[in-house]
Amino acid sequence: MTAQSVKARRSARQLKTDMTRCPTQVEAAQRLRYRVFSEEYGSDLGAEIPGIDADAYDAVCDHLIVTDMETGELVATTRILHQSNIGPVDGFYSAGEFDLTALESLPGTVAELGRTCVHPDYRNGATISLLWSAVAEYLISHNVDYMIGCASIGMSDGGLKAWRIARHLQQEYLADEHFRVSPLRELPHLTHTTVAERSVDVPPLIRAYMRLGARVCGEPCWDPEFRCADLLVLLEVDKLSARYSRHFMGKAS
């Protein structure tokens, strides 16, 4: 067993989650986001402060953080923008990438998940499961009916991988017609390929979205800032996969 795998197993038993708006903790999350996104997508993210990924949405979001209790290191994060808090930013982040008209008439409350990332040394099933369990608990306890979010795929190979993953997800996890959206910047079709050409390696965080019960809402968008392809995903919370809903429904009632 490698030293890294020992660390991952030890850390998995010592992780805790917190929901926060504490400026110090949010900054730690922003530093992790910068590290992960700049390394994986090759972007400087237009950072105003070196090493920090920050935008106007951070101030109105609840930030979910995962911390290694042994070291005190923040090892995973995501942020949640509740529909009731979108006023100061004039809408959800994903409205800058997709035409969300089809979702505006959804009956119920919507929340948006974004900027999800996990430290490379902690990308194991235990960490990701803990992260998504905390997300599920939030959705249920805050009476959210629909969760939306952008699922990102790196484009370092020019887009072949992104198209294969997008086509696979559209075939296996496509949302119903009334949930479909269209990208504001279509992913260039020069790299279009079919799923059958080779096996599809779906990123762990996107696999976790699907296990949670999420579906993709149509074609991918090209995000030039992050140099990645984004798919809008949507989760109907009342269809939350059984592994999460059984655990939290009783707690939230």
pLDDT at res. 6: 43
Give DSSP secondary structure letters for 229-244: EEEEEEEEGGG--HHH
Give the residue-averaged pLDDT of 241-250: 59
Distance separating alpha carbons of residues 107 and 119, to the nearest angstrom? 36
Q: Is the model more confident about 13 or about 139?
A: 139
pLDDT at res. 40: 79
Residue 232 binned pLDDT confidence (cut-offs 50, 70, 90): very high
**E strands of 69-124, at which residues?**
74-82, 98-99, 110-118
Query: pLDDT tens digits for 101-134?
Result: 999 989 999 999 999 999 999 988 889 889 999 9
pLDDT of residue 250 exceeding 90: no
Distance separating alpha carbons of residues 78 and 45, to the nearest angstrom? 17
pLDDT of residue 25 exceeding 90: yes
Q: Exposed e or buried b for every residue in 93-109, given b needs 16+ CB within 10 A?
A: bbbebbebebbeebeeb
User: Top-level CATH class of 3-252?
Assistant: alpha beta
pLDDT at res. 212: 87
Query: pLDDT tens digits for 29-83?
Result: 999 999 998 887 777 677 778 889 999 999 999 999 999 999 999 999 999 999 9
136 DSSP assignment: H
Helices (H) and strands (E) in the chain, counts: 6, 10
Give the residue-averaged pLDDT of 215-226: 92
Residue 187 binned pLDDT confidence (cut-offs 50, 70, 90): confident
Residue-range domain boundaries for the chain: 3-252
pLDDT of residue 194 exceeding 70: no
Which residues neighbour 238 within 8 Å (Cβ) at sequence distance 6 or greater? 145
Residue 9 three-state SS: helix
Residue 175 binned pLDDT confidence (cut-offs 50, 70, 90): very high
Residue 227 binned pLDDT confidence (cut-offs 50, 70, 90): confident
pLDDT of residue 5 exceeding 80: no
Round to the nearest angstrom and report the end-to-end CA distance of the chain.
Answer: 43
Q: Model's pTM, two decimal places?
A: 0.87
Looking up tokens 């948006």, which residue turns up? 112
Give the residue-averaged pLDDT of 192-202: 64
